[in-house]
Amino acid sequence: MIEKLSNLKAISIKRHPISNDSNTIYLPMHFNTADVIEKYDFNELPKGKDVIRIHLAYTRYKEVDTFNQKNLNRNRFIKLYEKFPELFDLKEIEWRVYEQVKATKHEVAEKELHGFVIFLREPRNWSELTKERSLIDRLLLDFYDSTVVVPDKKVYRVRRKRIPTGKFIPVRWDKQEKGIRYNSSSIWGREPEYKLIYDTLGSKTIKGSSRKIGIFNGNILKNSYEYESLVNRKFEGKWAIVSDVTASMSPYSAQVLAFLKTNVQFRKNSNLVFFNDGDGKPESLKRLGYSGGIYYVGGQEIDSVYFTMLTAMKNGDGGDYPENSIEAIVRAINKWPKTDSVLLIADSKAMVKDIKLLKYIKKPVCILLCGNVNGDIPEDYLEIAHRTKGCIIQTDGDLRITHKLKNGETIELNGREYRYSKNSLLLNDD
């Protein structure tokens, strides 16, 4: 194992980054030796955490041409083995060697990082994953859809007219009350009496409608807004479905699967991406646009879609809450360039960590905000929909923003009133 690691091809970088992340620990060594710097030495790895990646870093700078870097690397791996032999038995660890090229002088090179960077993550909570999968399975097994029908309604147009009766109303109130009427107005200037008649001018028919609803296990799911928003919408062209499967998304993922299962033609015209924000990597390993944890599958077979989604869930740990949504969309479009539109299934409570990459999206993005389908629209998702000329999908239609909103501006969309405030569109409940 040590020989194999010693022969790893080094990746050239200017300087290996240093992080204060609690899931990143360092075992630094002196320049040109395999001796650990005593100040930073330790003999026990943190308990309760998994090691997922180890970097060996060194500088390319050398003082003599005969210096053997490969031999020094081997000695450093031996030193690591002497301290933590258990690391060399773990097949899940990803090993990398980095050669830093920025330093060109001895006094600079000796201050650079030499030695090992060990990346950790919290152990996966398999019981929680089992619960999430069980929840999805129960929702799908108990699911059936139904159709609510509103029949045609006939509405008559009626005209109201006043016509004179030929009689006149007494001036005195008591006579009016007795119903006395006269044949002339006389010198008292009696007012003529009128009666109302109603003419039917015709009728019109308000066409009825039908709407599908999802019936899930009511003890688990309070409503099926996410399913209904999708199943009652028309999808034309080829779609890439990009779905967040990080923590708390299970009830919504089940509704998406139910929709795909019952809408075969749409599924077959679509490709899917499930993302988990980095497969549980610590933040120090994530770079903008390269967080990872992205899984691809065609929409032909629902079983393949289901198991790909479970794999993405299993390999993630919920992420750090802001999600790599734009990265997932960009990679989906790159993989399937003939895609016409993107459907983003997103957690309404999670911000988008890589909104800076939005300029690379040249396809319309329609967004289903799970957990708050008909509520407030956070800044990030409002910007994605607006700048890509996409929409926010709601139960009663798509919400599109056609102009740049001003702070405090109130607009009505789909029968609901919204107020634009602090870059977010807030639903006015009153």
Q: What is the per-residue DSSP string for 188-250? A: TTPEEEEEEEEEEEEEEEE--EEEEEEE--TTT-S--HHHHHHHTS---S-EEEEEE-STT-H
> In this structure, is the dihedral angle defined by the CA atoms of residues 160, 161, 162 and 165, taken in order, positive or negative?
negative
For 285-324, the pLDDT digits (tens) are 778 888 888 999 999 999 999 999 999 988 886 544 678 9
Of the listed ranges 18-27, 252-261, 322-331, the one predicted with least confidence? 18-27
Kindly state whether residue 133 falls inside one of the protein's structural domains.
no
Within a domain: 132: no
Q: Are residues 197 and 229 in the same domain?
A: no
Query: Average of pLDDT values for 55-84?
Result: 93
Which pLDDT score, from 0 to 100, does residue 413 have? 73
Tell me: do 263 and 250 sit in the same domain.
yes
Give me the half-sphere count of Cα atoms (radius 13 Å) on the Cβ side of residue 107: 0
Which of 92 and 149 is assigned the larger pLDDT?
92
Same domain, residue pair 20 and 96: yes
User: Collapsing DSSP states into helix, strand and coil, what is residue 292?
Assistant: coil
| pLDDT for the residue numbered 201 | 67
| Whole-number average pLDDT of the chain | 88
Model confidence pLDDT, tens digit, residues 37-68: 999 999 999 988 889 899 999 999 988 888 89
Provide the domain count of the chain: 3
In-domain check, residue 322: yes
pLDDT at residue 109 is higher than 70: yes
Quick one: 183 and 52 in the same domain? no
Within-domain flag for 307: yes
pLDDT for 385: 93
Please give the residue that has the higher pLDDT: either 278 or 283.
278
Contacts of 336 (CB under 8 A, 6+ apart): 238, 240, 271
Question: What is residue 412's three-state secondary structure?
Answer: strand
Residue range(s) defining the domain that contains residue 422: 211-427
The strand pair at 270-275 and 239-244 is best described as parallel
235 shares a domain with 181: no
Most confident region among 125-134, 192-201, 348-357 by mean pLDDT = 348-357
Q: For residue 393, what pLDDT band results from cuts at 50, 70 and 90?
A: very high
Where does the pLDDT of residue 332 fall: very low under 50, low under 70, confident under 90, or very high at 90 and above? very high
pLDDT band at 241 (very low <50, low <70, confident <90, very high): very high
Low-confidence winner among 257-266, 340-349, 393-402 (lowest mean pLDDT)? 393-402
Q: Alpha-carbon torsion 101, 106, 112, 114, what sign?
A: positive
Q: What is the CATH number of the domain that holds 254?
A: 3.40.50
pLDDT tens for 84-97 read 999 999 888 989 99
Q: What is the DSSP letter of 279?
A: T
* Same-domain pairing of 244 and 367: yes
Residue 146 located in a structural domain: no
* Residue 390 belongs to a domain: yes
What is the pLDDT averaged over residues 401-405? Answer: 78
Q: Kindly state whether residues 158 and 283 are assigned to the same domain.
A: no
127: in domain = no
Q: Which of 145-149, 171-175, 177-181 is predicted with the least confidence, judged by mean pLDDT?
A: 145-149
Of 106, 121, 136, which closes a domain? Answer: 121
Percent of the residues in the chain that have a pLDDT greater than 70, as a whole number: 96
Sign, CA dihedral 101-102-107-109, equals: negative
DSSP track, 365-397: EEEEEET-TTS-B-HHHHHHHHHTT-EEEETTE
Average pLDDT over residues 16-32: 90
Lowest-pLDDT range of 28-37, 75-84, 216-225: 216-225
Same domain (yes/no): 243, 382: yes
Residue 183 carries which DSSP code? S
What single string gives the DSSP state of each residue in 20-45? --TTEEEEEB-TTS-PBPGGG--SSP
For residue 429, the model assigns a pLDDT of 62
pLDDT above 90 as % of the chain: 50
Single out the residue in 161, 182, 206 at which a domain terminates.
206
Residue 147 is assigned to a structural domain of this protein:
no
Question: 391 and 411 in one domain?
Answer: yes
pLDDT band at 206 (very low <50, low <70, confident <90, very high): low
Do 161 and 61 sit in the same domain of this protein?
no
What pTM was computed for the model?
0.71
Instruction: Give dist(CA 183, CA 31) in Å, integer.
Output: 123
State whether 181 and 219 are in the same domain. no
Distance CA 247, CA 321 (A): 9
Closest C-alpha to 163, from 126, 194, 124, 139: 194
Give mean pLDDT, residues 194-220: 76
Measured in degrees and rounded to the nearest 5, phi and psi for residue 382 equal -60, -40
384 and 236 share one domain: yes
Domain final residue pick, 145, 174, 206:
206
Strands 153-169 and 416-421: unpaired
pLDDT of residue 285: 74
